[in-house]
Amino acid sequence: MFESAEIGHKLSKDEYKKIVPKLRADLLDAQFELSKNGKFPVIILISGVRGAGKGETVNLLNEWMDPRNIHTHAFDNPSDEERERPPMWRFWRALPPKGRIGMLFGSWYTAPIIDRVFKRTDAKAMLNSIEEINHFEAMLAGEGALVLKFWFHLSEKQQKKRLRALQSDPETSWRVTDRDWDFFKKYRRFYEISEETLRRTSTANAPWIVVEGANPEYRSVTVARTLLDAMRKRLKAAAAHTPTAAIAAAPITRPVDQANVLKGMDLNQKIDKKAFDKRIDKMQRRLALATRDPKFAGRNVVCVFEGMDAAGKGGAIRRVTAALDSRLYHTIPVAAPTDEERAQPYLWRFWRHIPRKGRFTIYDRSWYGRVLVERVEGFCSEADWMRAYSEINDFEEQLAENGAIIAKFWLQISKQEQLRRFKEREKTRFKQFKITEEDWRNRGKWDAYQDAAADMIERTSTNVAPWTLIEANDKYHARVKVLETLVRLIEG
């Protein structure tokens, strides 16, 4: 992948001077269009070898364009808030919103490559990272982001020359550290690992662009032109009539025998008040104790509650939180996204609430809205909710790898029981506000929601994050089962 970036590409200073004024003007125009259009973000990764002009190029782009709409992020050592979350959390929080350009130095590629070069990880771990990255970038592309990945390359000879030149100039000598020479000693290994990484992550949606870094005029114009062309192409496509994304995958069809995991549930399981009081009390004590265990400080808990309207999510959540110190948990009721959330990939608004170690986040409805309400109501295209299954699995896998305990509950009630609860709620004073016209409308689509839920459970019940189905016609049974499951997961 690097061969053509060692052939000594060059642009003369005269040509450069001729090209630049129009290029700058065009870039500014495109940037203005992007911000006016506001439909997609531009994510630019700046990677490559030391001394190849990464910083200079980004500074130049900031100079040429309007720096106010560019977010440049350098990822040094993670902060302690970042270290307590999955590695990708820090990148999620740095993603530019739609209409903006984000330039990321030291992206999600840095740690996997360096760890592999210094043999802190093995080939299998590397492949795993690469797969994760490919999934992540496919998600970004699926969400409409324009992803540009620049790799600044220098041949071994060029890099040595460049580092020496920087070192001998008193104004730039500070830039060359011992670490740079340590890295340089491993040039060949870096070359091989990077080459493999680039090859395996150069996808149709997010191909690598390797730029020879030796000649400043060449590399600046190359990067700027690539960026300009990509922005123009995307803006033009956005302006044209966009047909709904076609999807090649076979549609999900109902099992011919109409059976599914939900239909097989015995919803009439119940326990009496006395047994409930005893068991819930016992479980709440165990939950309280488990969260005080010193071991618990190193883990975090992500709870997801989903279910049909009036299935008893709120009541079950309150039985959980009643056992917890309120300083340890946040409950996130999933409502309409804010405008900052709408300017990001749909998972962003859930990532931002991922708890740090020793804490709970309880989602009252969750990212599964994508494959439930958004699917059923047609708020997103089939292509969008179809890809969501694997995106969600990736997300939860990252949480689990980081040590999170993931508890996902589907509360199932019968259609008759829902009707009974709706009517009861309309009569009861404190619960009045809980029944809206939307609830009645959703009820009208009962079967579609049930199908979507069955598909969801089938496709997102994984080893690391299985669904627990809760028979919820009887609230006592439901709450005890939720508590017992959670205690079992936390006690390990």
Binding positions for a copy of itself, rule: CB under 8 A: 25, 28-29, 32, 55, 58-59, 62-63, 66-74, 79-81, 103, 105, 171, 174, 285, 289, 292, 314, 317-318, 321-322, 324-327, 329-333, 338-340, 364, 429-430, 433
Q: Which is nearer to a copy of itself, 62 or 226 (CB)?
A: 62
One-letter amino acid of 244: T
What CA–CA distance (Å, rounded) separates 31 from 49?
28
The nearest distance, CB 63 to a copy of itself, in angstroms, is 5
Residue 404 CB-half CA count within 13 A? 28
- In sequence order, which ranges of 38-122 are alpha helices (DSSP H)? 54-64, 80-83, 89-92, 110-117
What is the sign of the dihedral through the CA atoms of 400, 402, 403 and 405? negative
Q: Which is nearer to a copy of itself, 152 or 385 (CB)?
A: 152
The nearest distance, CB 8 to a copy of itself, in angstroms, is 28
Counting Cβ atoms within 10 Å, is residue 190 exposed (0-12), middle (13-18) or buried (19+)?
buried
The nearest distance, CB 123 to a copy of itself, in angstroms, is 32
Q: Which is nearer to a copy of itself, 367 or 389 (CB)?
A: 367
What CA–CA distance (Å, rounded) separates 307 from 310?
8
Q: Which is nearer to a copy of itself, 364 or 382 (CB)?
A: 364
The separation between CA 178 and the C-alpha centre of its own chain, rounded to angstroms, equals: 35
What CA–CA distance (Å, rounded) separates 107 from 42?
14
The nearest distance, CB 109 to a copy of itself, in angstroms, is 17
- Phi (first) and psi of residue 330, to 5 degrees: -125, 135
- Phi (first) and psi of residue 336, to 5 degrees: -60, 140
What CA–CA distance (Å, rounded) separates 409 from 366?
11
Q: Which is nearer to a copy of itself, 11 or 332 (CB)?
A: 332
What CA–CA distance (Å, rounded) separates 37 from 98?
9
The nearest distance, CB 190 to a copy of itself, in angstroms, is 21
Q: Which is nearer to a copy of itself, 73 or 282 (CB)?
A: 73
52 Cβ contact list (under 8 Å, min separation 6)? 152, 153, 154, 159, 162, 211, 213, 214, 219
The nearest distance, CB 199 to a copy of itself, in angstroms, is 28
The nearest distance, CB 478 to a copy of itself, in angstroms, is 18
The nearest distance, CB 133 to a copy of itself, in angstroms, is 22
Q: Which is nearer to a copy of itself, 273 or 327 (CB)?
A: 327
Q: Which is nearer to a copy of itself, 73 or 200 (CB)?
A: 73
**Which tokens sit at 278?**
């005893």
The nearest distance, CB 37 to a copy of itself, in angstroms, is 13
What CA–CA distance (Å, rounded) separates 35 from 97?
10
The nearest distance, CB 189 to a copy of itself, in angstroms, is 26
- Sheet containing strand 404-412, edge to edge, reads 329-333, 360-364, 300-307, 404-412, 467-471
Instruction: Convert 418-454 to b/e letters by CB count within 10 Å (16 or more is b).
Output: beebbeebeeeeeeeeebeeeeeebbeeeeebbbbbb
Q: Which is nearer to a copy of itself, 74 or 165 (CB)?
A: 74
The nearest distance, CB 128 to a copy of itself, in angstroms, is 29
Q: Which is nearer to a copy of itself, 105 or 422 (CB)?
A: 105
Instruction: Convert 53-78 to b/e letters by CB count within 10 Å (16 or more is b).
Output: bbeebbebbeebbeeeebbbbebeee
What CA–CA distance (Å, rounded) separates 171 from 289?
60
Q: Which is nearer to a copy of itself, 105 or 191 (CB)?
A: 105
Q: Which is nearer to a copy of itself, 170 or 444 (CB)?
A: 170
Q: DSSP label at 470?
A: E
The nearest distance, CB 489 to a copy of itself, in angstroms, is 21
